[in-house]
Structures are given as structure tokens and as C-alpha cells.
Structure 1
Amino acid sequence: MSILKINELEKHEEHSVVFPAFSLEVLEKDVIAIHSSTNVMASLLKLFLGELSASSGEIRINEQVVTKSKQAYFSQVGLFLLNDGLYERLSVKDHFSFYKKLYSSGLSIDEGLSMTQLEAKRNVPISRLTASEKRRVHFGRLLFQNPALLLFEEPDQNADLETKRVFLKLVRKLSEKGKGVIILTGNMESALAVTNKVFRLDETGLHILDVVSDEESADALSEGELKSEDQMNEDEVIVQPVRFEKIPTKVNDKIVLFDPTEIDYIESNEGQSTIYIKGEAYPSVFTMVELEHRLHPYGFFRCHRSYIVNLQKVREVVTWTRNSFTLVLADAKKSSIPLSKTKMAELKGMLGLK
């Protein structure tokens, strides 16, 4: 059953596109993460809160729309906002007691304390809690509210290990109960720690990432190799090599696959190659030589011993001296990539310049 439906939602600011029209459906038990920049995340949150009007499209939570009935809409969604406040003089137990009465919850206070690992802090005033413990009090509020959809803004940002564990257990429990969960984050590691269903939202739209665990990728490879051997033995068919269109990167114990056209540049440092995409760094599983070979057909250029650049992302070639050159990219940070003297000559030849 569908809990959330986002239909052709689009947002512009003056003459710029925050994000183009996209649609998304969240079903019962779904846990998804949306990875985006701070600006995109802020706009999306305000749209969920009804504080901002969409350029087009709408958000429906259990068929409720914020512009038609705020009370009905907000009864279906629980929000964890990074800068939410608490009553500092009240104890943890007092807060949970207040939430229990406010939402007429059947959850006991002891259950709430246990699920948030705050039993030892039950009588401690909020003012004496750490920032991470305060965050767990907010998690407790959502447990007592018991909405159909839960939306978290950067839930583990600067949180301690215990709070991260509590959050992961909480998400699993919510999913088991048939809730829909959305995590909004600018940190890919945070997204992948919670779910393999990760989307990226930016000025080009909403894109789902190809994510597998190390074990899944190894199993798939082994299965593919065995199948090829069986086919060759039984049918004596020679299987032609298939061109691999995606570039794998490592994030924790997950492998994330990116389209080559998404990559801005690649840097090598102390033998480790790192792929940069929209200002974020992802460790590569390949060497620079392997990446150069794989990416050459897509317009990538080895501009320096330690750099490979996507020529489609280059905005300027800057000459500092006769022997010093820099490539300036068209990304948000206007990244500067060194261009060696020998590679400058090669690049001029590629561009047909003298």
C-alpha cells in the first residue's frame, strides 16, 4: 500500500532550477534515503512542511495534501528536524509522558526509554543531556506519535556511536511495523548505513543509485563465471565480453555504481584513486591506469600523473606561466585541476589548436 506519493514535484528559485519535476512513491515498509545538497534538502523539507509552494506538482501522504488540510496531513507524518528544540527544564521521563498524552499513545514510557537507550537518563533534565542524547529524545517523540510516514533530516549528523545504533534499530523496527521512512542527508555514508535504496536529488532530477553489498557483488560475479563455464562446456558457445558501463566506488561495505558522465575528475594520492562527483569524494576500487582505460571512450583525459578529468566538465584552461597550466571545471566549487606541460600539448592536438 502506498503511503507517500510525490507527483511531478518541481521547484524553481527566480531563474534557477532547484530540482526539475520528479515523482516518487513510498510504500509500507519502505526505507529510502535521498542524498542532496543543503539547498535542495532545505527546499524539499519546506515543501513537506507546507512552508514553501511548489512550482508544480504535489506531495500526498495517505492521500492528504498540506494545502487542503494541515491537521489531516500532519497526523500522517512524523518529522525529525535537525534544529528542533526541547523543554530544557523537563526530564526525559517528563517529555515522554507529555508525548504519550499528546498523541494518546499505547506505548509505555518504559518502552520508549528502552527503545531510545535512555533508561539511565529518565530523571535527568534535558539541559544536562549531551547533544546525541537529546536527539534520542526526539526519536522517542516519533515513537509515541506513531505516524504512517517518518521523515528524518540528517538524523546521525555529529551523533555518537550509541545514537547511531539506536537510530538503525529504530528504522528497522518502524519498517517492520509497516511504516514508510525517508532519510534526507548530504552524507552518502549515512544514507548507505541505513538502506540500499538511495536516490540523489539535484538540478538534473531524481536518480536512483546502483548499490550492492560486497557479498552480493562477489556472489553475482561467481555466479556469472560459473554460468559462462557451464555454457561453454555444454553448448561450446564463446561468450563475447560485455562492456561494463558503470564505475564502482566503495562506501563502507557497499559498492555504489556511477555513470561515467556523472564523474567530474579523479585524483590519485599515495596509491589510492578517488572519484569526485558534485564535490563528494568516493574511493575507487580501480587504479588510475585501469580508470584511464575504462573512461577514455567517455571523453576522459589523463591531464596529469595524478589526475584524470572529464573534458565535458572543463570550463577554462588557464595559463599561469609557459610551463604551468590549470583546468577549471564547471562544478559548483569551480575545481582547479593541474595540467602538465606535456599533456597541454596533447590536449591542444585533441582540440585542433596550434
Structure 2
Amino acid sequence: MEVKHMTLIETVKTLEASRQLGIVSSKEERQLLLDWYQANGRWTESFSEPFHERLTVKENIKFYIKWFQSDFNVNDLLHLFNLNAIQRERTKHIQYDDYVLMKLCIAYIQPCKQLVFNDILYNLHFETINQIRQLMTIFEETDHHIVHLLTHIDHAILLTDEVYQVKNEAIKRLEVEQNEKEKENTSQDMQVLNVFKLAVKTEDKTLFLNPEDIDFIEGFEGKVNIHLNNESWLADYSLTELEERLSPYGFYRCHRSYIVNLQKVKEMITWSKNSYSIKLDSSNQNFVPLSRAKLKEFQTYFNGSTVPFTEN
């Protein structure tokens, strides 16, 4: 095993005491941690293995109750995990959201209290995410210790206040702020955090973009062009609206017509006394204009040595 992998695992070992925590990392790192947790006796769930397709939802759960020699009541579990409406359906016909809820039900039945979930919120509907957040509280109340391995920071924040990010071979805790009023109202909390996905309509479908993947946003005739990976999508937002909603997540209004993702900034360039640009670390090396009035404020986001300033 590589030294950096050993270092990551040694660091993660120090986090074991928490009831529920989230670790945001790459696919490779998540697989490494999954393998390690599984080898050390944790119940791991990647939401990829199918159920017995010929059995109904209720029959599958009854099978696992018997398999684990558990004393749970199948009807109580169907109610707890919101599976009553589909209990007679064969699992090959159920939706992915219901499949995830079934997987959580099995994790709840089995005897191990140390659980690891890999990308639990991936590709789920709003209502299911809300249900899972409530279920995680029940898991905690029944003395389960949970580690969430996740791709996106926004998913981690939805699940727990204890969030860590693996970056540049190091793991760092992120500050997560949540006031008491938000904690009391799950629906309100979900509406606030829904900003993490930007809806963009195409000819035949609606795309939901992760803001962290966006390079920059450009104002266009009262709408916006959202630029990501050499592509752009026209969306019915205003720059002012997106500036307000995205600024807490690393976006900055660098020009009256542009908002830039600060995580994508590679270099600042001065072309003349009054002309500045931002060079982005993206596949097509985009340049975004930087307003002279924004220059000093923009520089305060960086420590001086992180982003070079070039004169041309």
C-alpha cells in the first residue's frame, strides 16, 4: 500500500469515536477506505448489489430478518423505512430511491453497529433525501456509528455537522454552521440547502448541476450562461440572484457580467493599467474579466502565494 494511502487510513482511525461523520474524497480514496473498513469488521454499503429479484420487498426483508436471526417485526420495518406502499412489488420493478431505503433497512437489521455508507444521497429525489436524514437520527438513537463516504460536500453537510475533506493527500475538517431554527425544521433546512443544485433546462430534459463543477457564470440578456467543461447552458436566473445564493459556496462576482468559482482560479493577469483578467484552471483555460474596482477585494480571497499575478 502506498505511503499516502497509509497516511490517510492512519488519520481516519482518529475519527472513529463520532456517532456520524462525513468524509468527502475521490472515487479512488473512497474505495480504499471502503476496503479498509470492510476488512476491519464494519458493515459497508455501496448501494450497488441487487436484491433477489423474484422476491417482493416484504419477502426480501423477511428473509434478512431470518438470516440475521433478528427479532424485528417486518411490518414495523416497512413502516419505518416508508416501504409499505411497495411491499408487494418484486424488487426488480422498484425505483432506485426505494432500493436505497431497502438497503438502509437491511443495514438496520444486521447486528453490526459500525456502518459505512458510500455516496448514500447520489441521484435521489428531494423527498427521499429528507427521509434519509430523518432515518440517520434513528440510527444514531439506536447506538449506530456511521461513516459517510461522499463525492460532494453539499451531501455531507446535509447528513452531519462533522465533515472532513480529503485534499492533496491530507484530511481537513470543514466548518459547518447550522443555527437552531434550521435544526428544528427539516423542510426549511432542505429548501435552504437546495441551492447546491442548479437546474438547467435543455430541449428534452432538465439537468441538475453541482456548483462546485462550474467554471464561471456569464450574464446574457437578462439570463445567464453557465460554463462547465467546455460547454455552456442558458438558464433563467439573474446574476444578482446567483451571486446571493452561491457566494457562501466559493463564488465571487468579479465583474458586473461575471461570477467566478474561486476554486477554479489559476492566475490573475494585468493586461494594462485598467484591464485585468482571471485565468481559470479548466480544460480550455478560460479567461474571465476582473473589474478594476473588484481587484483589491478579489486578492483578499487568496494568500498571495497561491495565485500568481502576471503582467503582460
State the TM bucket, normalised to the shorter chain. 0.5 to 0.7
2-side partners of 1:337 and 1:251: how far apart?
A: 35
Counterpart among 254, 258, 271 of residue 306 in structure 1: 258
Which SS does the other structure have where 2:135 is aligned? helix
Q: 1:216 to 1:22 in 2, by over 3 A?
A: farther
- AA partner of residue 170 (structure 1): L
TM-score w.r.t. length of structure 2: 0.63
- Preserved CA contact (<8 Å) 1:36 1:185: yes
Which SS does the other structure have where 2:97 is aligned? helix
Q: 1:339 to 1:192 in 2, by over 3 A?
A: same
| Alpha-carbon distance, 1:166 to partner | 3.0
TM-score w.r.t. length of structure 1: 0.56
2-side partners of 1:283 and 1:210: how far apart?
A: 17
- AA partner of residue 40 (structure 1): E
- Preserved CA contact (<8 Å) 2:23 2:166: yes
Note if 1:186 corresponds to 2:136: no
More strand by share: 1
| Alpha-carbon distance, 1:307 to partner | 5.2
RMSD over aligned Cα, in angstroms? 4.4
Which SS does the other structure have where 1:82 is aligned? coil
1:25-174 to 2 correspondence within 5 Å? 25-27=15-17, 30-49=19-38, 66=39, 73-74=40-41, 77-174=42-139
Which SS does the other structure have where 2:53 is aligned? coil
Q: Which runs of 5+ in 2 are unaligned?
A: 183-188, 194-213, 219-237, 300-307
| Alpha-carbon distance, 1:191 to partner | 1.6
- Preserved CA contact (<8 Å) 1:78 1:151: yes
Q: 1:215 to 1:110 in 2, by over 3 A?
A: closer
Give per-residue Cα distances to partners, 1:64-91, cap 9 Å, x unaligned. Answer: xx3xxxxxx43xx222213121111111
| Alpha-carbon distance, 1:199 to partner | 1.2
1-side partners of 2:215 and 2:137: how far apart?
A: 36
- Preserved CA contact (<8 Å) 1:267 1:274: no
| Alpha-carbon distance, 1:341 to partner | 10
2-side partners of 1:111 and 1:152: how far apart?
A: 23
- AA partner of residue 42 (structure 1): Q
Greater Cα radius of gyration, structure 1 or 2? 1
- Preserved CA contact (<8 Å) 2:58 2:87: yes
- Preserved CA contact (<8 Å) 1:21 1:205: no
Residue identity over aligned pairs, in percent, reads 14
- AA partner of residue 163 (structure 2): V
Q: 1:40 to 1:94 in 2, by over 3 A?
A: same
- Preserved CA contact (<8 Å) 1:315 1:328: yes
| Runs (4+) off by over 3 Å | 214-217, 250-254, 264-269, 272-275, 302-305, 307-313, 315-319, 324-331, 339-343, 350-354
Which SS does the other structure have where 1:146 is aligned? coil
| Alpha-carbon distance, 1:351 to partner | 5.5
Which residue pairs with 2:246 in the alignment?
283
1-side partners of 2:92 and 2:261: how far apart?
A: 50
- Preserved CA contact (<8 Å) 1:200 1:207: yes
| Alpha-carbon distance, 1:120 to partner | 2.6
Which residue pairs with 1:270 in the alignment?
239
| Alpha-carbon distance, 1:132 to partner | 1.2
Q: 1:338 to 1:163 in 2, by over 3 A?
A: closer
Q: 1:146 to 1:165 in 2, by over 3 A?
A: farther
Q: 1:267 to 1:216 in 2, by over 3 A?
A: farther
